[in-house]
Structure 1
Amino acid sequence: MTSYLGGALGVMGGIYTAGGISGAHMNPAFSLAMCLIEQFPWWKFPIFVAVQIVGSFIAAGAVYVVYYDAIWHHSNGTLTVTGPQETASIFATYPADFVSIGNGFLDQVIGTGVLIIVVMGIMDPRNKPVPKGLEPVVVALLVLSIECSMGANCGCPLNPARDIGPRLFTYLAGWGPEVFSRGNGWWWVPLVAPLLGAAVGTYLYQLFVAFHYPEEKSEALAEQGSIVLVNTAISSADIGRSPKERDSGETEPAGYPPPQSPSSTVSPTVPITTLKES
């Protein structure tokens, strides 16, 4: 439970830190979902996945350095992947002894599908809005709930990069090739199943939720807290009109706005781009 809580809080911190720059794409499954709904360009997908894996690899290295003494003390001087003194599961996920490959694969498809469905509901401005600034907290609670309810089978990876990056680190750091052979070659399941789950979750949300929204005007989206910024090129005829006139059609008193100063260097033919709330 403690590790699940730490992971969920880590997701929250990552979103707060990088959400404004990259959209906080920490999971290839999420990146794939955004590509499928045309909110993210396909050409960026392999780049983001590569960076996500490298980031996970580096994070695993940081964990190893911080807990170096504890890892070697617990393992009694031998880095193992199985047995009571194994430490490989600190970094990557492995299925429980009673879980088959098929059951684990289905587990990850369903778990990641649920994750993507709810994340899309959180992101959808036509749905019940999350108070602005609290989206990372809600996503963290979502991750925590999935991990607590579905983590018993295989540790609930839900994220291909989060699994393969640390797995590669343990392979190189001394745990050896058994990190790929344990669990009847489990390693490929956290790579493939979450991506399939992301696709399934994306299309289920579109089919059962997004498809059923009526045509909404911008005023309705604004009432739900969604601000749409529109780039508008203003013609030379509009330069002499105030923003209020351009938006509402109302007329300002004569002499408004004041005439341009002769020293002004702005040409009336230069297109000006504004952001209009619609």
Structure 2
Amino acid sequence: MAFGYTTGACLNPARDFGPRMATAAVGYGSEVFTVSDAWWIYGAWGATITGALIGGGFYDVAIFVGGESPINYPRKRRRQAAERVKGKAEKGWWIFKRDLELGFKGELGKEG
């Protein structure tokens, strides 16, 4: 708990929340969550998570050129992936419907 400055506890939700919970349990009460108008929720959590999402999206759009990016898929590959998933979902539904009609009987015809 003493290395908050060197480990970046003010900008790391994982490092910020643990000491807050410990000080609340020791006896400081709920004031550890309300100090400075609860800055920790929109500063340490909201800003870092939002920044990570925006930074990841920017990297994906502007820099990353690999094929496994969900943003940079060519339209043809997006269409193919959607059709593949749709086919699997329909197949799963028909298998479920068949099992429902058969009463979910096992391989030997027993229940369960």
Structure with the larger helix share: 2
The normalised TM-score by structure 2 is: 0.46
The normalised TM-score by structure 1 is: 0.20
Which structure is higher in RCO with an 8 Å CA cutoff and minimum separation 6?
1
